[in-house]
Amino acid sequence: MDTLIARLGIALSIGLLVGLERGWQERDAPEGSRTAGIRTFGISGLLGGVLAAVARALGYPMVFPITFLGFAATLAVFKLREARSDSDYSVTTVMAGLGVFALGGLAVAGDAQAAAAGGAALAATLASRNVLHRFLKRLTWIELRSAMMLAVMTAVILPILPNETIDPWGGLNPWKVWFFTVLTASLSFLGYIAVRIFGASKGFMLSAIAGSLVSSTAVTMVLARTAKRSADPFPLAGAAALGAAVSILRVMGLILLIDPAAIIPAGPAAAAAAVVFAGSGFALFYWPQDRPFADVPTSNPFEIGPLLVFAAIFAAATIASAVLVSHFGSAGLLATTALTGIVDVDVAVLAALQAGRDVLPLDVIGKALLVAMATNALCRAVIAILLGPPSFSMPFAVLTVAAGVTAFAVHSVLPTL
């Protein structure tokens, strides 16, 4: 990638990639009726790379911005003629052409890998037009306002928060508390976006799986209440089990993001429990009876109020973990995660990772993570028993116990293998 020829090849490839997407979108247009197609975009990327090389060879950096303005003016003139002919007010092609030209210059005179990544991202953004427009149509003002408020709070508040512990026990780090709050909400928002884009009208299985990316406890509550009005609660118990499996996988993803090493002692047992939940959940869901279908609603995980509550609980959990670990060692961490897991498994997992990372052995942290997931699973089973009929709660409780026993067996046997 250090030779000029290779860098020019990257510049040309960026233009061809974007031009391929643009050309496909306008493939039905008559020949010569469009401002830019695959060849024009390819040449634009190569031209940007050549002019960047010329500017560097001449030792006169202003060559590139001057020619960039000339290229922008030329592209705008031709696009204006096309727009007048087609009554088209879109400026996407112009912006894509300018992006290709700039990325071509970056590939030659700057970071070639960053330019290639930028070209791929540009092409992907252009190709996702229908998905993005469909999402905007489904988006409500409350959701948009919440996301914007969170973005502002993150961009403004996070940089000024102290990135050091401020309590006597060394547990409360304001920057980490808010960072992990934003990270957890973002992971949950992925599931929320899936529901908003694709909808949850395909049945309990899809909606329970998507909803569990936000909150498996809330999904269990909805399913338990629905089971009271259903003549066939077995598929609902299966959907709840599938949601439990998704919850475990979501927590494992969170662990991999925060501290990948912690997945070694906790991952096999957690994965075994997820397999039990998923396999039995599918079996119950497809139980050969008439089954109702409805939506499992989810709330917007970017609402500021719940986020602040999450941050407060997380801060209290980290302080409690630090205090208990300093006085009781590993037993203190296990007690904290067990109690916090009843409230929120994400808080328990994050608190365990933060409190034990520099103090306790990795296997103790793994046990704390498993305890957090176990207490959260038991909490869901209790909710099912309290809110649902026996024909719903009993199968789900049995599956919860089976998943817990399987996880315990795997965790006990694995170190001896």
pLDDT digits (tens, 9 = 90+) for 382-397: 888 888 888 888 988 9
Q: How many CA atoms lie within 13 A of 354 on its CB side?
A: 31
Q: What is the pLDDT of residue 200?
A: 46
Q: What is the pLDDT of residue 267?
A: 84
pLDDT digits (tens, 9 = 90+) for 168-211: 766 677 887 777 677 666 655 655 665 555 554 444 566 667 66
Per this entry, what is the length of the chain? Answer: 417
Q: What is the pLDDT of residue 51?
A: 93
Q: What is the pLDDT of residue 55?
A: 92
Measured between alpha carbons, how far is residue 250 from residues 18, 139, 186, 198, 274 in Å?
A: 34, 24, 12, 20, 10
pLDDT digits (tens, 9 = 90+) for 73-115: 988 888 787 777 667 667 778 888 899 999 999 999 988 989 9
Is the model's pLDDT at 374 over the cut of 90? no
204 touches 293 (CB < 8 A): yes
**3-state secondary structure (DSSP) of residue 386:** helix
**3-state secondary structure (DSSP) of residue 65:** helix
Please state whether the predicted TM-score (pTM) of the whole model is above 0.75: no
pLDDT digits (tens, 9 = 90+) for 304-323: 676 777 677 767 766 776 66
Measured between alpha carbons, how far is residue 24 from residues 20, 102, 222, 241 in Å?
A: 6, 22, 44, 43
The residues spanned by each domain of the chain are 4-127, 136-416
Measured between alpha carbons, how far is residue 44 from residues 17, 62, 75, 104 in Å?
A: 12, 19, 10, 8
Closest among 50, 128, 67, 39 to 92, alpha carbons compared:
128
What does the DSSP 8-state code read for residue 159?
A: G
Measured between alpha carbons, how far is residue 43 from residues 17, 38, 118 in Å?
A: 12, 9, 17
Query: Which residues are CB-neighbours of 177 under 8 A, at least 6 positions away?
Result: 311, 314, 315, 318
What does the DSSP 8-state code read for residue 30?
A: P
Closest among 184, 140, 162, 145 to 304, alpha carbons compared:
145
User: Which has more pLDDT, 49 or 197?
Assistant: 49
Q: What is the pLDDT of residue 49?
A: 92
Of the chain, the percentage scoring pLDDT greater than 90 comes to 11
Is the model's pLDDT at 58 over the cut of 60? yes
Closest among 175, 190, 183, 141 to 307, alpha carbons compared:
183
Q: What crossing angle do the helices spanning 263-285 and 390-413 adopt, rounded to 10°?
A: 150
pLDDT digits (tens, 9 = 90+) for 212-223: 666 677 677 777
What does the DSSP 8-state code read for residue 3?
A: S
In single-letter form, the type of residue at position 373 comes to M
Measured between alpha carbons, how far is residue 253 from residues 153, 184, 217, 416 in Å?
A: 25, 11, 18, 26
